[in-house]
Amino acid sequence: MPFQLMVHGGAGLVLQKQDYHDSIASVLASGRTRLMAGESALSVVEHCVRLLEDDPIFNAGRGSVLNCHGAVEMDAALMNGSDLTAGAVAGVSGVRNPISLARLVMQRSEHVMLIGEGAVEFARLEGAQFEDEEFFITERRRAQWQRAHEAAITTLDHDDPTPSVEKKFGTVGAVACDLDGNVAAATSTGGITNKKFGRVGDSPIIGAGVFADNQTCAVSTTGHGEGFIRTVFARRVAEYMEYRNFSVAEATAEAIKYLSERIGGVGGVIAVDSKGNWGRSFSAEAMIHGRADDSGVWVLT
């Protein structure tokens, strides 16, 4: 079976493209090596998202945006296409890699999603890696939060109130098809700047920000979370393949078209099917993403 790997690091206006290009290329190369060695799609998407969470230029893990209290709250989810198992966490703090905590939820609990203090308690019981709060907070995010806080607004990563700054949606994700034809997907985010009231977006919601099924495809999204939730977006991509016999490329394009035309949603999506075919589409100005297969690595920012 041919293998395929795709990752994304957000959609929208990007100013420092080379920084993202280098990071995406490195993540793809690492994941490609693992897929070539026969590692499962599930393990590879977790690995790739962990690398993205550890890179402070992305809004996930270290480098996450700050909520209304100036603190980090993170969401993540992953799904295995071979048996439809899934794990998700929302509103967690202190956990170095929320995507790995989501996998622990999948494999070591009877649940799919854990949130807030309960998720953190579970993380401690399972021996997840924790970091001090300052590990997660960068000067860039602190300044971004300060501008939003002073303006008394809640913003997405791309909606900084200061002119001529980068305007990029803040989510990372990975999808893969392994040598056995199994697919998997993972998505992680720090959410939106200055968010209040325990807001949760689409990233940890199965069928909205992440989905995987060997019978159709694996999907990860980036964009305005509320729109992806309202349209059950990730599952919609799979349904276009299942019920309309679309290719994965056609399905991603049609889903973004629906999102844009039906509710004015903005964002992007990556997807792969169980035969190693791939698709991507976005309605934002750009999407930071790339792919890798047995022929090499391509960054498509």
CATH code, 40: 3.60.20.30
Rg (CA), the chain: 17
Closest residue by Cα to residue 203 from 81, 61, 300: 61
Among 171, 189, 221, 231, the one annotated catalytic: 171
pLDDT for 151 equals: 77
- Is 91:75 a contact under the CB 8 Å cutoff? yes
Residues 6+ apart with CB under 8 A from 209: 77, 171, 173, 187, 201, 202, 203, 220, 221, 225, 228, 229, 233, 234
**Average pLDDT in the 236-258 region?**
98
- Residue position matching structure tokens 């490329």: 249
Rounded Cα–Cα distance for residues 296 and 279 (Å) = 17
Q: Name the band, by pLDDT with cuts 50, 70 and 90, for residue 163.
A: very low
Token duo for residue 75: 């969401």
pLDDT > 80? residue 16:
no
Lowest mean pLDDT among 2-11, 160-169, 235-244: 160-169
User: Domain range spanning residue 84?
Assistant: 4-299
Rounded Cα–Cα distance for residues 278 and 289 (Å) = 12
pLDDT for 225 equals: 94
Instruction: Name the phi and psi angles at 218, rounded to 5.
Output: -115, 140
pLDDT > 80? residue 170:
no
pLDDT for 153 equals: 58
- State yes or no: is 33 an active-site residue: no
- Is 192:29 a contact under the CB 8 Å cutoff? no
Give residue-wise pLDDT tens across range 133-159.
999 999 888 888 888 777 765 455 544
pLDDT for 126 equals: 98
pLDDT > 60? residue 160:
no
Rounded Cα–Cα distance for residues 28 and 165 (Å) = 27
State how many domains the chain has.
Answer: 1
**Average pLDDT in the 188-197 region?**
91
pLDDT, greater one: 164 or 286: 286
- Is 82:76 a contact under the CB 8 Å cutoff? no
Lowest mean pLDDT among 3-7, 163-167, 252-256: 163-167
Token duo for residue 215: 């019978």
pLDDT for 168 equals: 59
